[in-house]
Structure 1
Amino acid sequence: MQNDLWNYCLNLYARPGVEHACLSLQDQGLDVCLLLCAAWLQERTVACSETRLEQLKACAGPWQREVVQPLRQLRIRWREAAADDEALAALRIRVKALELEAEGTVLRRLESATLGWSSAQSQDDCDWLRKMANSVGHPDCDALQTLRAAINRA
């Protein structure tokens, strides 16, 4: 198991099916940084509570809204035009790098927010993925099950 959230996310994201699952969940409006943090906490058997869920959402939310999402929207908006414009394609690559850097900042902030959180008394107290998905109004789906299976293969 990795000892920091960024490395954990890189490892998890590289597992078969995880990238596609994360992009699908992102398209459904879920914050992938929060889901990956939830997976990390779940694997570490950290106790999950509504208070902790809200703390994580409050930590990630402003940065996601003000930094990550505008960069992502710009990158997506430029996709078609960049296919025929070399200069725009180069800028789009730089925007993508900034988006990834911004997500790294979110993950570092989330990790800092969890310092000192205690372990769960039982496995039932640490189903972070389900609770995180439900907290934003999304029930379990195929993509979430793919993510859960990747975690369990570790």
Structure 2
Amino acid sequence: MAAQCATDSDDNPLWQYALAVYAKPGVAQHLLLGQDSLGLDVLWCLTALWLAEQKQALTLALMQQVAYDEWRSSMIVPLRALRYRCDKTRDAALRKALLAAELAAEKRGIALLYAGVESNDDIVPVEDCDVDELVRGNLSVLTGDQEWVGNMVEFLQ
């Protein structure tokens, strides 16, 4: 994820949080490992982490985000697939352009998730909960791989 101008229309607290967390040592690599080996959606992982910071639980009901799902399947995933098909050396310029397009699509995806979460009545606020415990719980909604979840918690500390 690349830093973006704060005046962009898709700028929101989730985007700012995602940029900050993604930049932490080891986090980006671990998220991409989860994406590539477990099929995790990095943007949902970042949203789950942000919700934990907001003392809110991620639920299956909250994950019903049709606008985001459609955007992801029609824009993010195809752009990523095209980028992966490029040779890193021979197609470097094209690969770079596709990466920029993919990042722009991800930023729009975060905006859709933010709008969907903020307008959702299924948000479950958690009063007296350890943030690390809430992070574990939120990520566990996305994956049953507790080793991956535990490693993510360690990277965040």
Q: Considering the TM-score relative to the shorter chain, is it more than 0.5?
A: yes
Q: Does 1:63 align with 2:71?
A: yes
Q: Distance in 2 between matches of 1:134 and 1:10?
A: 22
Q: Which runs of no fewer than 5 residues in structure 1 stay unpaired?
A: none
User: Please, what TM-score do these two structures have when normalized by structure 2?
Assistant: 0.76
Aligned to 2:154: 149
Q: Could you tell me how far apart the structure 2 residues matched to 1:137 and 1:21 are? A: 14
- State TM-score, norm by structure 1: 0.78
Aligned pairs, number: 142
Alpha-carbon distance change, 135 to 44 in structure 1, aligned in 2, over 3 angstroms: closer
The alpha-carbon deviation at position 89 of structure 1 amounts to 1.6
Between the aligned residues of both structures, percent identity stands at 30
Higher RCO (CA-CA < 8 Å; seq separation 6+):
1
Task: Give the distance between the partners of 1:25 and 1:47, measured in 2 at CA.
Answer: 20
Corresponding residue number in structure 1 for 2:106: 103
> Which residues of structure 2 form unaligned runs of 5+?
1-11
Counterpart amino acid of 2:85?
A: R
- The alpha-carbon distance between structure 1 residues 15 and 38, as it changes in their structure 2 partners (threshold 3 A), is same
Partner of 1:12: 21
Q: Deviations over 1:20-50 (max 9, x none)?
A: 1011001020000000000000011014433
1:121 is aligned to: 127
Tell me if structure 2 keeps the 8 A contact 1:75–1:96.
Answer: yes
Deviations 1:48-79 (A, max 9, x none): 43311x324x443222211111111111111x
Aligned to 1:140, which of 143, 146, 149? 146
